[in-house]
Amino acid sequence: MSQIKKCLFPAAGYGTRFLPATKAMPKEMLPIVTKPLIQYGVEEAMQAGITEMAIVTGRGKRALEDHFDISFELEHQIQGSDKEEMLSETRRIMDQCSFSYTRQVEMKGLGHAILVGRRLIGLEPFAVILADDYCITEGESVLSQMVKLYQKYQCSIVAIEEVPRNETLKYGVIEGDIESENVYRISNMVEKPTPEQAPSNLAIIGRYILTPDIFKIIENTPPGKNGEMQITDALLTQAKAGGVIGYRFQGQRFDCGSVAGYIDATNYTYQQQND
């Protein structure tokens, strides 16, 4: 049975909703309290047994690479002080994981970003985390839950959650038949439909497990919503062949791609840490 060993992080987007903060800093480096979003994503992947991180970056994103690297001066400076502890998690990640990077030169959509990651992934099933969907669980991480499900279904899986009808325009939305509790066999999916066009209120959130045939399918899928290459459209091709599962995960998601969601996530996490 194929294992999921790699996780792809599309991280080339500009994060314009956070300007001016994101003028010279990647949005994935925005901290929830003291830890950047990308690190939460990497930790989630590690909890799912994944150690090979593949990051699709772009211009102005070098801080991402520096974050998962040694900072000699700084580390020398805080050596032996109580501050050293604050970097221990990051060091553990660096010891246990490998990081590879590639650049998305043009922004042509999430499907395109994933396609750009192809050479880092190769011919194996892989996970995708959109770091600005920040997920909190009490037990297993969302991706761990999905990796378990993959062992059973051996096909692409998308994380889904119910959203208010008037918000379907922000998401890929699915339609499907219930297979078992929280598990749907997807028959249709639409990228950012109006509430009237939406086939349900079950929205895709930024956690995917994809089988490698997706790359060829993305290549052969015409541009969709907003003229961009949409992963939702490519997944629809797999779904029509019966091969996509929607999973209503256990846990809570914050949309840290929006300022309000980011503030909620920050407040929630700060509260948790201080309780």
Q: Would you tell me which residues interact with ligand G1P (CB under 6 A)?
A: 110, 130, 133, 171-172, 191, 203-206, 230, 232, 257
CB of 57 to ligand G1P, least distance (A): 16
Nearest residue (beta carbon) to ligand G1P: 172
CB of 109 to ligand G1P, least distance (A): 7
CB of 235: closest distance to ligand G1P in angstroms? 9
For ligand G1P, which is the closer residue by CB, 152 or 170?
A: 170
In the complex, the smallest distance separating the C-beta of residue 81 from ligand G1P, rounded to whole angstroms, is: 39
Question: In the numeric block, which tokens belong to residue 256?
Answer: 């840290």
Would you say 93 or 205 has its CB closer to ligand G1P? 205
Greatest pairwise CA separation for the chain in angstroms: 60
Cis-peptide into 223, omega within 30 deg? no
**Residue among 49 and 195 whose Cβ is closer to ligand G1P:** 195
* Contact (Cβ atoms closer than 8 angstroms) between residue 149 and residue 247: yes
Site of tokens 């995708």: 128
How far apart are CB 191 and ligand G1P at their closest, in Å? 5
Is 211:238 a contact under the CB 8 Å cutoff?
Answer: yes
85 close to 75: Cβ distance less than 8 angstroms: no
- Per DSSP, the residues of 62-95 read HHHHHHTS--HHHHHHHTTSTTGGGGHHHHHHHH
